[in-house]
Amino acid sequence: MGLLYRLGLATAVVALLSRPTTASEPRCFPTDFLFGSATASYQVEGAWSEDGRTPSIWDDFCRQQPGFQCANVANDFYHRYADDIKLMVETGLQSFRFSVSWSRVMNWDPETRRMQRNAPGLVFYHALLDKLIENGISPILTIYHWDLPTELHNELAPQGWENPDIIDHFVQYSTLLYHEFGDKVDFWTTFNEPLSFVVYGYNTGLHPPGFHDSATLVYKVAHNVLLSHGYAVQKFRELKSGGVIQSKARIGIVLNANQFYPVDANNPSDVEATERAMNFEFGWWLLPITTGDYPAVMRERVGDRLPRFTADEAAILKGSYDVFMLNHYFSRAVTDCDSEASSTPCFSLHVGFGQDKGVDDSQLVPGSRPGLQDSKGNNYCKSYTAYPPGYLDTIKWMHAKDPSAKILLTENGWCGDDEVDNWTQLWFFQSYTEQVYKAVVEEKIPVIGYTAWSFLDNYEWGSYGPRFGLYYVNFTEETGSPDFEKPKPTDLQRIARPSAKWLSKVASTGCLDELPHKQETAAVIMRAAAREEPSVITGAAFSIELFVGAVAAAVGTVVLAAATWRRRQGYSVIPRLSTI
């Protein structure tokens, strides 16, 4: 960005703030802090059999499970992404997290017994990325968000993530994406929530492939996932050093973590059970990438059923991230499963992971806000409870494992009902972003962005509830049918919830509080300068205050106009993160 443009911004801000204000000091984030939202391929794209896409394990699983809905159409994002990006711009989003559908960009070749490139599927993601970049939105690309190609899963023996051979397949898939999108993506993540898809898919059976109650399988699968991550990051760094991937790109793995507290903080057994729960759920994934091995408490309790990393594997895993990535939703109170305070005896827990962890985490933290039924009586949100301080404590737990690592908050949201005006969701976002502010400003933790889940109401792994969206979507009775293919143009309309309107204000100013008009305009200008976004400047509502400050203000206005003219002539620079 030219000196002329920056001088204009600086002069305009000086002029704008030349008069004193009586407003209290606002709570504002750093000017380069990212506010964004997220989706995932299977949850929003639809177009389940178009342009060469083949089924994933979720396409099969939703048809096999009684009462499950499917995502043939979902939000029809595949056909409506351009309009949705317009909504992102209106909402002020500076980042957008999405995932690539493996079975959309690659197909199984029985002759080579490998997945092969599917060009039409790649065209879609190129178009999506180009449109995001054109609108100044930084892409956060998730390589794997649970939709393993069916043919790849079935052709391996043993199947899917249970087979160590999948590591090579995953690296091949990742490498394809690096070559295709390496010059367009700011942030990469190898996996979304491995804890969720590994435990639900290979211990409780709630997700595909539906395996359950094995004392060893879940640990073998987790081991293969971690090694897949490590080798994919190794390939990322190799291609980045060779110029295939842009120099500012960063990679990590999205980990999800609940925050646990002891039922009785004065009871050493509850305190120990709490730390054990944190290590079994969070440390299981975080410690291998920070230390090269699993938590000691897992080694002790799981024993020989927990695989071991070779020295070379440990070296590949340790430090296999450029940035920490964190999903967080709720907190729980914990006691040992056999304690007097437990309502969940150990024998009732799932064999393997559940019994090895050995805790009752069903109790609420005092002061929590429980999830509610929707207007139809569906209690989708029974397990979701809001406890805002738990967010800060989770961030601090992660930060302690590597205080030098920056943290990108990649999902956080409220399990909501089917109402458009969801005021509880608004309370959730306001309360949880206050905790993020405390982390950044008071605790000095290097959190670089906040990502709201989700941008749209979407498919939630078996049904279209609960609804997490900043935008309400009017799903029809047909939407979840396994035979449904073509929605009407009037179906699936997006309607902004109060949270979307609130986030638009926060994202544009970078502040949690209402600002006087001149301060708000100055905040927009300063955030635009930090991101080199003249498009934001031209959209700001400049007040008469800009003309205060005599000659300085006049010069600032003229220079700003010149910079804006330069943008309209095609001299602008597409905003991409350069400070992370």
Q: What distance in Å separates the CA atoms of residue 450 and residue 438, rounded to the nearest whole number? A: 13
| CB 170, CB 100: distance < 8 Å | no
Residue 448, SS3? strand
Whether residue 209 is preceded by a cis peptide bond, meaning omega within 30 degrees of 0, is yes
Catalytic site includes residue 411: yes
Q: What distance in Å separates the CA atoms of residue 226 and residue 253, rounded to the nearest whole number? A: 10
Burial of 3 (C-beta count, 10 Å sphere; 0-12/13-18/19+): exposed
> Residue 97 pairs with which residues in a beta bridge?
38, 140
Q: What distance in Å separates the CA atoms of residue 221 and residue 251, rounded to the nearest whole number? A: 22
Q: What distance in Å separates the CA atoms of residue 405 and residue 293, rounded to the nearest whole number? A: 18
Whether residue 345 is preceded by a cis peptide bond, meaning omega within 30 degrees of 0, is no
| CB 566, CB 557: distance < 8 Å | no
Q: What distance in Å separates the CA atoms of residue 163 and residue 236, rounded to the nearest whole number? A: 23
CB atoms within 10 A of CB 20: 6
Question: Which residue of the set 151, 155, 281, 411 is catalytic?
Answer: 411
CB atoms within 10 A of CB 53: 25
DSSP codes, 523-561: HHHHHHHHHT-HHHHHHS---GGGG-SHHHHHHHHHHHH
Residue 433, SS3? helix
Catalytic site includes residue 193: yes
Q: What distance in Å separates the CA atoms of residue 252 and residue 186, rounded to the nearest whole number? A: 12
DSSP codes, 465-481: -SB--SEEE---TTTT-
Closest CA to 89 of 417, 516, 503: 503
Burial of 470 (C-beta count, 10 Å sphere; 0-12/13-18/19+): buried
Q: Cα-flanking dihedrals φ and ψ of residue 436, to 5°?
A: -65, -40
> Residue 506 pairs with which residues in a beta bridge?
none
Question: Which residue of the set 45, 155, 162, 193 is catalytic?
Answer: 193
Q: What angle do CA 217, 309, 228 make, to 5 degrees?
A: 70
Q: What distance in Å separates the CA atoms of residue 401 and residue 285, rounded to the nearest whole number? A: 12
Q: What angle do CA 41, 45, 46 make, to 5 degrees?
A: 125
How far the first Cα of the chain sits from its last, in Å, is 18
- DSSP percent split of the chain into helix, strand, coil, nearest 5: 45, 15, 40
Name the residues annotated as catalytic.
193, 411
